[in-house]
Amino acid sequence: MSIVNKGFRGRRAQSAPDLPPGQHLTADFPVLQAGPTPRIDLDDWRLTIRDELGAEHQWNWGQFKRLPNERLNVDIHCVTTWSKLNTKWEGVSLDTLFESIDTAAEFALVGSYGGYTTNLPLGDLLGGKAWIVYAYEGAPLSPVHGGPARLLVPHLYFWKSAKWVRSIELRGSDAPGFWERLGYHSYGDPWQQQRYAGD
């Protein structure tokens, strides 16, 4: 007599996480970058937002760390096909930084210590979509992961989350950044697989 009912398959497997197409999970945190890791002294660190008329808004490290901060838990997706889920960060929302900035710009060009740049529509930096983060998993953000502070835009491929952020230039028209000039997609939506120009 059989003690296993017909159709029995054993314990149901844990459901697979909802990943963008072409992505796979990673448990580690790969380090990918276009050049050497800059080492920025906190006494020298500045974040500058320059509007389309040339007016500048600037924060040094002490001023920046006194701004209201948020803790967030987000998934991140790299164009090289890895995804990491439930990553924990702490930082300042771009909404907070833009509270005193009046602009009609539609685009932003983000610049980093070390010379890296990436372009984004301004709408993708506001409305609770982007942060300047300085802590990861409860510890200060390490230089290899963009410390002391990096941009975090989790709904786009991770190359848009510029490490070692130093400036945001507001623009009336779009201008490609480092990887975009080399053939990466101008926008980079992982759910649409916008990896390269023409995707």
**CA dihedral defined by 115, 145, 26, 81, rounded to 10 degrees?**
-10
Cβ atoms within 10 Å of 172's Cβ, excluding its own: 10
- Average pLDDT on 174-182 reads 97
Lowest mean pLDDT among 2-16, 130-144, 162-176, 182-196: 2-16
Cα separation, 91 vs 135, whole angstroms: 7
Supply the pLDDT for residue 15. 46
pLDDT at 17 over 80: no
Kindly tell me if the per-residue pLDDT of 189 is higher than 50: yes
* pLDDT, tens digit (0-9, with 9 covering 90-100), for 88-101: 999 999 999 999 99
Q: How confident is the model over 56-85, as pLDDT tens digits?
A: 999 999 999 999 999 999 999 999 999 999
Instruction: Say which residues have a Cβ less than 8 Å from residue 174's Cβ, sequence separation at least 6.
Output: 106, 107, 119, 121, 186
Q: Determine phi and psi for 2, rounding to 5 degrees.
A: -80, 135
Kindly report the pTM of this predicted structure: 0.89
Average pLDDT over residues 96-119: 97
The pLDDT value given to residue 4 = 42
Determine the Cα–Cα distance for residues 28 and 147; give it in Å rounded to an integer.
18
Of 141 and 15, the structure prediction assigns the larger pLDDT to: 141
Please write the tens of the pLDDT for every residue from 151-171.
999 999 999 999 999 999 999
